[in-house]
Chains A and B, each alone.
Chain A
Amino acid sequence: MAHVIQCLDQPSNYKDSQSRVDRQKQNDLLAKSNTLYVGNLSFYTTEEQIYEIFTKCGSPEDGGGVKRIIMGLDRNTRTPCGFCFVEYYTHAEALAAMRYISGTKLDERIIRCDLDLGYKEGRQFGRGKSGGQVRDEHRSDYDPGRGGWGAQAQRLEIERRREMEERYADTTVAVAGGGGEWNQQHATAEPAGTLKRGRSPEDEGDDSRMANRARTDGDPEAERM
């Protein structure tokens, strides 16, 4: 069937890096697979929500149905990290989910399904450096459903914030003024571009503004999370 268009139930090119089987063997397994990898879930989506949508591809009258759901967890925090495995009793049900569910929304996110080799102990945990999924390491957008920034971006963000905080850890009451108007009285023969600028009481306003900016950078995210 379907010479004219591609079927949606084809597995992707994904190769499980920790699986020992070669590609040929893997393809054979996928051609019989009852298991789906489901990705791009919100960290807040529950198994019952997942069950609700995936059961619609179940065919109990053929001995099928949702066998189990394995929620993907952050290795360190043991909290959902945005993926799961859905295991059916039959291969046909997994194909149906590829055709009808993959690419539709659950919990207001477009979820993605892929045929999977089948669950193995340990696969429920994220493989990213931070404990979550690898994709969340490299993600550079802000995604409130997946814990905000990607892990690397988050680390960078934390790093930046810490740098910022540490930078001013030595702040004293005397705050620089940034220099007043040119004053003939202080005109010197020194070169104009001095490396270090002198501190003066008038500088105070500028720095507090900067501190403010740093806060507003962080705050909206904190709220949306």
Chain B
Amino acid sequence: MSYERPYRGGGRRRQQRDDYDRHDRRQEVYEPPEQKLRSAILRLGEVDPVEELSRVANQIREGGSTNVPAASEGFRIGVTEQPYKIPYYTALLHILHEPEAEKEASTSDGPTLGKQILEDFWKGFQAFLDKLAWRETRLCIHFFAHLTVARIISAHSMASLLQSFIAVLDEFGVSQSRAKRAAMCAAEGLMIAGQVLKEDSATNVIDIISAIQIYIDTTAPSKWLVQPMVRLHSQPHALESADELMETALAVLKTLNSSDFAESSNSYPQPYLDFAPLPPGITLFDLPSVLVPPEVIELDGLSSDSGEDVQIKREEWPEFYIRLFDNDVSPDPTSPAGYAVRSTLIDMVDIFEVNRKECARLLLEFPKWTLPGTFKPRPGAPAESHPEPVVGKDWQLESTLIEICLGALLVLPQSAHNTIYYVALITEICKLSPSTVGPAVGKSIRRLYNALADGLDVELARRFAEWFAMHMSNFGFQWVWKEWIPDLALAIKHPKRVFMRRAVEFEIRLAYFERILKTLPEQMQPEDAHVMPEHAPGPEYEYDDPLRPYHDSAQSVLNLLRGRAKPEDVIALLDTIKNTLSETSDGDVNIDSVIRSIAVQSLLHIGSRSFSHFLNAIERYLPLLRSLAAPGDEARLDILTACSIFWKRNRQMIAIVFDKLMQYQIVNPTDVVGWTFNYGVGNERGSSSGPLSLNAHDWDLLKGALDKANGRVVVARRRVTALRKEEDDTRARVRASDGADVTSMEVDADANQDDPTVDSPALTSALKAFASLTREQKAALSRTLTGFIDCLAPLASDRHANPASRDVVQEKKWHNRANWGQDEWNAWETWGWYRHFCRAYAPYLRNYATTLGTVSLVKFEGTTDPAAALLLRTWNVATGQD
């Protein structure tokens, strides 16, 4: 685009902005020497790291000891935010440890500049550790490990540092997240420094490896719940298509150990080994001993009505990364060199989350920080600059990057960052190098698509469809759909067909019906191909047709609403209609339901033109909605049903309407949960007569309700905490002023206010809100659990029972899945959502584990019903009782 003045037109304002910019620039021009030094360290290696080392070293030396704080800060930021530079920072510090020839006379007695910087750096490390900033701590340990190999840090002190992290694994009741992160610190430190550490003491090395092994063995049950390829029937099994992070680390350590860590030098650049060793006169640096501080437990004394603790603690699960390519295309995480590359890339994706564009650029530049021959040269690079391909490496950069990003996106139960970050990151990588990245993306899509037939987890299938649609939305919706035409022969509920339909639906939401229709091959366009929805999304007012029952009544309501009549007038009209109808219709019609349906659909009708129109309509008629909802549970279910009928051609709107009805407190989250299990729209039953099951769209509604319930508790908790703090502060102030003014006449009045047992009205009502919201939260979770039990272990007498819900959990049935029909796939998907419910909401479920378990699951103890047993087992693993 070429408009000359982007966005800010107008000469006068333009002038102001220029002034502002100049002001900014002036600030930038003056860079204090410390900052200059710091950025020199951070920018190390922009052209050639080895060439630049001596220049940066000299710059640090120029100021002598006064430069130590700035330099060590530079190292601290560099190491923790640019992990790919750590070997070169080690080399830089190596140079700074060398005695300066020309200044020898003056400084020979004091410690070298390098040593001073390292001492200061250690303080920074200690600070990271005190905050339990795990990633920073781990990357500092990388640095220390390289320094150990460079013979700057003593091997025995490095070994005991790693031991302090291993000690965490033996703590009583250690959380999985803490254990996992501590173990990764020790494991990665050992991978880098193993050779030197083993020379020093082989038993130290063995101890670390076996401690990690023992810990991993305890995590087996939870692995079963978060592996990307679902096997409902089996114990955890070796997966060909995914690797668990800690397990790969252990495998790497074992491989390295078997060759006395000879392979480390093939995995990590060690530029410092090209230098002459430090003169023998220089003593090795001994790392001080540390203790990994315990986790801080916030005690705010808030608990739900029944005394259960409702503090939410995010638990870490075993971390599976899905593999999309073979070992000769992307690095094998169980090989030392492969692990080193992958873990650095994962760290980069994590660190640069704040700027996906820069992240994409740095990822594509990554090969320059690796050993020669790690990645295939870029096509078109001059032949003489091609390094010899290294056996077992020579990977393809773009495939590796996409595999890493998708791997991070597809971690269960949730990715480290918002999933849309990884989507946007992949988009940026593609934009930087479309011709080389495009094919890697295409291959990844095909791999994931094929995984759908082999049990790809339902939540991952959902994320896959979401990514696919957003990616296509950024690249002109160009996908070669025709290669999937043969799959139209599969059962309608087969995961591949469900994926196609869902991906297309998500694409339509981001674009529009006709736009997506024309991207599909002819065979996929007709309605019966079941790829496109039957109609373009739109409202469907049930009473539009003059031949429909209640058309005239509905029309009169609609006219009133269109004329912006007062809510009470509408309510009065509805009462009149009700009276008329009850005189004229026969007994088996539920007049109340009809009235609610007419009122809600008419209201949605006047608000159907856009999201804002909808909000305006319901805000104007809140009193009407409240009066409709007032009679109770059944009334609220009727309201939800009316919405789902009106928007049956637009599932996005159903989710939006339900969300806002909860927001305006017309319905509760528990109502939405109950409605979803009984009348869920997504299963295309049309009525509630089919077998109970839950699909991805139902799950979206369920998730919306549960998140709303949980979110409200979070907000209420925050409010109570803030009010308490405010009152404590006020009391403290009052007390302080009392002390200063003892003779004051108002002592009595103050004393009253000072009474710590009396809460202010604001705090009292906040506590009350908190109590009722935790009740609602528990009700919503409990309703979800019973809903799943009804679907998955139905009683024989239940006429909505899915006959397949017990079959699909058996191994031999799973192997026969090529012959599965609608019921089997529905049951399998429902099982998948139950698993996801348990692991995704585990932090909340744990708080209520005892009561919820007692109410719903205790009846299954000792059962022989395979479905009941699986329900119980899943629950126990998720709530940490297994």
Residues of chain A touching chain B, judged by Cβ–Cβ distance below 8 Å, are 1-9, 13-15, 17, 39, 46-49, 51-53, 56-57, 59-65, 68-71, 96, 99-101, 103-108, 128, 134-135, 137-141, 143, 150
- Would you mind naming 16 contact pairs between A and B with Cβ atoms under 8 Å apart? A3-B77, A8-B355, A8-B357, A48-B653, A53-B470, A60-B704, A62-B711, A63-B711, A65-B711, A99-B421, A100-B356, A134-B8, A138-B4, A138-B9, A140-B4, A141-B3
Chain A residues, Cβ within 8 Å of B427: 104
Chain B residues, Cβ within 8 Å of A100: 356, 418, 420-421, 423-424
A52, B358: Cβ atoms under 8 Å? no
Chain A residues, Cβ within 8 Å of B710: 61
Contact of B711 among A7, A39, A48, A60 (CB under 8 A): A60
In the complex, the number of residue pairs spanning A and B with C-beta atoms less than 8 Å apart equals 155
In whole angstroms, what is the CA distance A220 to B357 when docked?
37
A60 to chain B, nearest CB (A): 4
B655: nearest chain-A partner, CB-CB: A55
A64: nearest chain-B partner, CB-CB: B711
B813 to chain A, nearest CB (A): 35
B780 to chain A, nearest CB (A): 12
Chain A residues, Cβ within 8 Å of B707: 60-61
Q: How many positions in chain B have a CB within 8 Å of any CB in the partner chain?
A: 62
A51, B2: Cβ atoms under 8 Å? no
Chain B residues, Cβ within 8 Å of A52: 509-510, 652
Chain B residues, Cβ within 8 Å of A9: 354
B6: nearest chain-A partner, CB-CB: A135
Given contacts A15-B17, A107-B511, A139-B1, 6 further A-B contacts (CB under 8 A): A3-B77, A60-B708, A61-B710, A61-B711, A105-B473, A135-B5
Contact of B5 among A5, A59, A61, A138 (CB under 8 A): A138
- Interface-lining segment among B51-59, B610-618, B691-699, B828-836: B610-618
B310 to chain A, nearest CB (A): 14
A68, B612: Cβ atoms under 8 Å? yes
B152 to chain A, nearest CB (A): 24
A135, B81: Cβ atoms under 8 Å? no
B510, A47: Cβ atoms under 8 Å? no
Contact of A62 among B10, B352, B656, B714 (CB under 8 A): B714
- Is B479 interfacial (CB-CB < 8 Å)? no
Known: A3-B81, A96-B418, A141-B1. A105 touches B474 (CB 8 A): yes
Chain A residues, Cβ within 8 Å of B708: 60
Known: A47-B610, A141-B1. A4 touches B510 (CB 8 A): no
B511, A48: Cβ atoms under 8 Å? no
Question: What string of 1s and 0s marks CB contacts (under 8 Å) between B462-502 and chain A?
Answer: 00001000100110100000000000000000000000000
A6, B509: Cβ atoms under 8 Å? no
A68 to chain B, nearest CB (A): 6
Chain A residues, Cβ within 8 Å of B420: 56-57, 96, 100-101
A17: nearest chain-B partner, CB-CB: B13
In whole angstroms, what is the CA distance A103 to B474 when docked?
10
Contact of B3 among A3, A14, A53, A150 (CB under 8 A): A150
- Is B784 interfacial (CB-CB < 8 Å)? no
Question: What string of 1s and 0s marks CB contacts (under 8 Å) between B699-725 and chain A?
Answer: 000001001101110110000000000
Contact of A49 among B424, B510, B714 (CB under 8 A): B510
- Is B21 interfacial (CB-CB < 8 Å)? yes
A150 to chain B, nearest CB (A): 6
Which residue, B9, B17, B77, B424, has most C-beta atoms of chain A within 10 A?
Answer: B9
A13, B611: Cβ atoms under 8 Å? no
- Is B42 interfacial (CB-CB < 8 Å)? yes
